[in-house]
A = this chain, B = another copy of it.
Amino acid sequence: MGAVQVAVIGSGAEHEARGEEVGRLLAERGCTVVTGGLGEVMAAAPRGAKAAGGTTIGILPGERREDANEWIDHVVVTGIGHARNLAVVASGDAVIAVGGSWGTLAEIGFASRMGRAVVILEPGLSVEGVPRASSPQEAVELALSRLGGAGT
């Protein structure tokens, strides 16, 4: 099996700095960063990962590869709209939620249902049964520890 893949989800421009830090830390641990491939947190996390020499995957909702942001190495073009969010979280061995709203809630619910290790980075949504972290570093450590140390 290849590198540990961690999906970073969420939205909101105000969360980009933390998303970028999460991406950087994941790349330093050797993890591949998976996002929805568009803007805000979906761009910030791969930007951080690439700055640290990491690898990134973007899973797009539309039909055009060109829609991917410039920090995406490997582009998956789904054409299935919001349903691609399920593919984003399903493709993560672990999932870190940075900010977000209704769409992020849907993804957390779906990821949990599929048994993925989900961590919410504060401040952000509060979902019963999902652990929260107070810093990007804690979020990454918590997510990876829930995988049994894989990727560390």
Contacts and interface: CB of A to CB of B under 8 A. Distances in A.
Contact of A105 (B57, B73, B74, B105): B105
A70 B109 CA distance: 29
Main secondary structure of the interface of A (DSSP, over half): mixed
Interface residues of A, number: 44
Contacts of A68: 1
Contact of A91 (B32, B66, B75, B127): B75
A115 B28 CA distance: 38
Interface of A: 1-2, 5, 32, 55, 57, 59, 63, 65-66, 68, 72-83, 86-87, 90-91, 93, 101-110, 112-114, 126-128
